[in-house]
Structure 1
Amino acid sequence: MGRPDGQLVEEKVFKDPVHRYIHVRDELIWELIGTREFQRLRRIRQLGTTYVTFHGAEHTRFNHSLGVYEVMRRMVENLEKKMTWDEDERLVCLAAALLHDIGHGPFSHSFEKVFGTDHEDWTRRIITGDTEVNAVLSRMGSRFAERVADVIGKTYENKLIVSLISSQIDADRMDYLLRDAFYTGVSYGNFDMERILRVMRPQEDQAVFKLSGMHAVEDYIMSRYQMYWQVYFHPVTRSAEVILSRILHRARELMRGGYPFRQEPVHFQSLFSETLSIRDYIRLDESLVLYYFQEWEDEEDPILRDLCRRFMNRHLFKYVECDPSKQMLIWPELQELFRKIGLDPSYYLIIDSSSDLPYDFYRPGEKDERLPIHLLMPDGSLSELSRQSDIVEAISGKKRTDHKLYYPRDLLEDQSEYAEEKRRILTLLHAQEGS
């Protein structure tokens, strides 16, 4: 299939609704796509529970990973015209782009919050562990897999490559904004990627952008801002995430307490006991999780049964806006009232917070410090983006946070024998909403 130079005899092409075509010319990339671990990404949605809000959001991590690879391939192709690019480095770059999300678990970030897992850590473990992916990478040399893992971990010596896949404007973000906008049916995430790639210029530690392309970069920043608040942090999606996390918490609690499941979660045993191996992790996907949720709709435990029925049938929690400054004043009373009417607040009274920092300038030494986006000025000097753009300057360094309190309104309405408690609960909830 391959030639002595590592290229395929015939180029492989994937038809793609976002990039039109995804081109694979390297035998390494083609073989990585065919591995068990990469094919597993077909069974993990890109946007977790967002499909309950935007019915078109059924695309997968597989779609996205191919898309990131294609954006990176185009980046490298453009940069090769302006710099000398070592062939080995090119393949490290493309492999890292393709594999950057291979460690995601089912329902991605919701899953991570419950079990304290880190998809980047699992990505590195899959790349360097006893896997088909590692076997393919290792044929490129004894340290090749480790180098790819270092790019994912942001410790790779070539900082330019790291920035192309993980920075404030990178291949990952460019693909997911365009792809998520397409599949959710919104226009917020659209921007001129071709223009951005044309004005991209390589520097020692990161790519920069010609001043003439500033407006395309501005558009990208604002598209990202809108997508987070209109799609990624949508309150209905977050309601589904809250219920999903409570189901997993409940199942883990019941298993540890010796509860006799009608459908015992044998595939979750190593996860719940924190002895998860790479083999166990790779077996976890969303089809498996949904199978258990469907089976648990008939469990004897009323909480697990109710939560699974809600998730599977989209009977979600309602929400009110939550003011953190008032939360501590009413929270103990709300919890006690929920207990009085027979609702465990651990599962039926949940505060969920979302926050985003759309763009930040360089803050050395701070947690999660970010390299800023630089513009290449006509005289050859560099200028940080917000110094040239009034639009970006207006949102730079400004973290926006949203708090919501989720609860089952239908169960409250059913509590006719607790009229006084229900009245007080609704009063407290409305006080939050009006704050």
Structure 2
Amino acid sequence: MAYSMEKLREEKVFKDPVHRYVHVRDRVIWDLIGTKEFQRLRRIKQLGTTYLTFHGAEHSRFNHSLGVYEIVRRIADDVFIGRPEWNEDDRLLSLCAALLHDLGHGPFSHSFEKVFDLDHEYFTRAIILGETEVNQVLSRVGKDFPIKVAEVIAKTSKNKLVVSLISSQIDADRMDYLQRDAYFTGVSYGHFDMERILRVMQPREDQVVIKQSGMHAVEDYIMSRYQMYWQVYFHPVTRSAEVILTKILHRAKYLHEHGYSFKSQPIHFYSMFNGELTLEDYIKLDEAIILYYFQMWQEEEDPILRDLCCRFMNRNLYKYAEFEPAKEYKKLAELSVLFEKAGIDPDYYLVVDSSSDLPYDFYRPGEEEERLPIQLLMKNKEIRELSRESEIVDAISGKRRTDHKLYYPADLLQDDSTEPLIKKQIRKLLEIE
């Protein structure tokens, strides 16, 4: 029997708090889960620093990847099976792309990427196509199979239907992380009727469409996404932790570039500091490694690195104030001068952080990120874009919401043992009691 068709003698199941069970019967999927590159995802949290705000948010990219796989497996095996628009030959491609879609995420994903100018999508592709255990498994299916999987994840595949299962405005990725993140953070916002959405999904040549009768379930899904972004993903306390994390990495990089002698040498960082990061180096990185350095750097001679690491490890985070950059740029400049006079480096201790989200958008050709709209299949078989039928979705379509915060260390500003008059001026500007 061909490897691509091989089944396990007995179905394997993972107990899952969101989907109850994740079912694995395909030998290819089981072998991929067992690779060291996929197992690495157990050591990378799905929500980065969010555990410092919602203490239950300890779940991993591994959990989420299995969840996305399970949703796509259900679609392929239960919803689409037997439909003329669905090609059974695409089943394994869909399952592998779903399972591996987050393979290239690094520790504290997005904060890490910003500092070192990395791209997790690049590393996902590199792991799939490189000299890895994942590549060995995929290559057993077919010589060009790793390329096909990588193209689906990168959204460059000609198979638009399979791409839309993994990446669109209503896809298995979003349907899993909204429910999973809501479960582990303990909030109620991210819950929606996924069972109903799966029942009303239908395959078309270029994407999944939703039967008109399921429109209200999709509205609920979009509003759940909107609420989760503003109540969980962009929570200002989580963003405070991200600011400090980012500044630790910036400081460590700066010290390395200026010849500082670390007590705990950051050997895992050298290739990144020097812009020479290899795939082998990248795969060795996980959050346990990063936190080890943060723990050790609490005893460094450099006062800024030491302080930032103590803050992160002991959750002594920055406070924040609402801030409008366009209107308050003079205030920011004044604060920067006062921080320097007070002996507090504004590069590390006075930070503007912005969050922005576009909950739903219709198709805008030529834009930097082309969003495939959600299409409804009407009773007369006509295809209609969702916002043309839903007043709720129309009200938020194309509307980007942006939020700015100014972060600062309130404890240092309350300490009047040094520069009390200047700190009083700063507190007045920041309207600190």
Same fold (TM over 0.5): yes
The CA distance in 1 between the partners of 2:395 and 2:136, in whole Å, is: 48
Is 201-210 or 84-93 further displaced after alignment? 84-93
How big is the shift at 1:85?
A: 4.0
Instruction: Show CA shifts across 1:66-112 (max 9, x none).
Output: 00000111111211232354444211111010000010000111111
Q: How has the CA–CA distance of structure 1 residues 3 and 254 changed in structure 2, closer, same or farther, with 3 Å as cutoff?
A: closer
Letter of the structure 2 residue corresponding to residue 119 of structure 1: H
Q: Output one character per residue of 1:141-175: Cα deviation in whole Å (capped at 9) or x when no partner.
A: 11100110001110101101111100100000000
User: 1:38 maps to which residue?
Assistant: 38
Q: Counterpart of 1:207? A: 208
CA distance in 1, matches of 2:348, 2:166: 38
Report deviation, 1:429.
Answer: 1.8
Q: How far did residue 50 of structure 1 move?
A: 0.2
Matched position secondary structure for 1:267? coil
String of CA shifts for 1:257-303, please: whole Å, max 9, x gaps.
11110001001100111111111000000000000000000000000
Can you give the 5+ residue segments of structure 2 that lack an aligned partner in the other structure? Answer: none
- Whole-Å Cα distance in 2 between the matches of residues 356 and 5 of structure 1? 42
- In 2: Cα distance, 1:264 partner to 1:251 partner: 10
Q: State the alpha-carbon separation in 2 of the partners of residues 5 and 185 from structure 1.
A: 40
1:188-207, aligned counterparts within 5 Å?
A: 188-207=189-208
Alignment partner, residue 24 of structure 2: 24
Equivalent in the alignment of 1:14: 14
Query: 1:190 and 1:84 mapped to 2: Cα distance?
Result: 30
| 1:296 corresponds to 2:297 | yes
Does 2:148 match 1:147?
A: yes
Structure 1, unpaired ranges of 5+: none
TM, length-normalised to structure 2: 0.97
Residue 401 of structure 1 aligns with an amino acid whose one-letter code is: T
Is 1:312 the counterpart of 2:313? The answer is yes
CA contact under 8 A between 2:215 and 2:376: conserved in structure 1? Answer: yes
Aligned to 1:276: 277
- Between the aligned partners of 1:261 and 1:329, the Cα distance in structure 2 is 37
- 1:180-219 residue CA offsets vs partner (Å, 9 max, x unmatched): 0000001100001111010001111110100000010000
Measure, in 2, the Cα distance between the counterparts of 1:56 and 1:332. 39
Alignment of 1:62-81 (within 5 A): 62-77=62-77, 78-81=79-82
Aligned-pair identity in percent equals: 69
- The equivalences for 1:266-415 within 5 A come to 266-415=267-416
Matched, 1:429 2:427: no
Measured after TM superposition, the shift of residue 421 of structure 1 is 1.4
| Distance in structure 1 (CA, Å) of the matches to 2:296 and 2:182 | 33
Which letter does structure 1 place at the counterpart of 2:71?
A: V
Match of 2:248 in 1: 247
Distance 2:282 2:249 in 1: 16
**1:187 aligned partner, one-letter code:** S
Q: Indicate whether 1:173 and 2:170 are aligned.
A: no
Q: Distance in 1 between matches of 2:159 and 2:5?
A: 23
Residues 285 and 4 of structure 1, relative CA distance in 2, 3 Å threshold: closer
Q: CA deviation at 1:326?
A: 2.1
Number of residue pairs aligned between Structure 1 and Structure 2:
432
Partners in 1 of 2:392 and 2:132 — Cα distance? 46
Q: The residue matched to 1:336 in structure 2 has which SS?
A: helix
